[in-house]
Amino acid sequence: MIRYEILTKEHKDVEEAREFYDYSFPDDERMPYDRLLSMVDDNHVMYAWYDEDKLIGMTFTFVFDHLAYLSYICIRKEEHSHGYGSMILTALENVYPRIVVDIEKIKTEQDDEQKRRKQFYLRNQFHETGVFYFIYNVDYELLSTGESVTGQEWNDLIHAFWGKFADTAVITE
């Protein structure tokens, strides 16, 4: 049975979680880990995920107006393909009835990583929202659980989370 603990700068596993966060995302797709930790509060939640006492994953979620933006989910490399990602998503859905993720838009049939990522979320109760956005030369698609996320909700969320940086995003429905 998996469980979670809030991850803070003082948490015993903060550096271990940093290691698999760093190798799970390319440099240009991840926010500096120390910045994530400095943001942790009631609306910016970082969880360490455990199977009994073994650290298996980490998530970072921004909560805004009954909507949770799952910014990062990563699983320890040795624990890939054991169903932990699905278990974590199920546990998060029990905490947050509406979760949104952004994934790179699939552009060609050769985009295997993007296709796998999208299929993972679709297998885990996420659905297409029909909302897309473009920022810094990358196209993204939004997937969500529960009631579908609208372009206006996404716009409000990213402005609350990213501030002026969000002004450069072009959102389409």
Q: Tell which of 97, 120, 136 closes a domain.
A: 97
Shared domain for 105 and 153, answered yes or no, is yes
Number of domains into which the chain is organized: 2
Shared domain for 109 and 69, answered yes or no, is no
4 SS3 class: strand
Shared domain for 1 and 85, answered yes or no, is yes
User: Which DSSP category does 140 fall into?
Assistant: E
Instruction: Output the domain CATH number for residue 89.
Output: 3.40.630.30
Residue 110: band (very low, low, confident or very high) from pLDDT cuts 50, 70, 90: low
End-to-end CA gap in the chain: 39
Structure tokens belonging to residue 38: 């400095």
- 119-158: burial string, b at 16+ Cβ within 10 Å, e else: ebbeebebeebebbbebeeeebbbbbbbebbbbebbeebb
Strands 99-104 and 138-144: antiparallel
Q: Which domain holds residue 116?
A: 100-173
Tell me the pLDDT tens digit for each residue of 77-108. 899 889 999 999 999 999 998 999 999 888 77
Shared domain for 60 and 16, answered yes or no, is yes
Least-confidence region, from 8-22, 33-47, 53-67, 104-118: 104-118
> Residue 168: is its pLDDT beyond 90?
no
Shared domain for 79 and 134, answered yes or no, is no
Shared domain for 86 and 2, answered yes or no, is yes
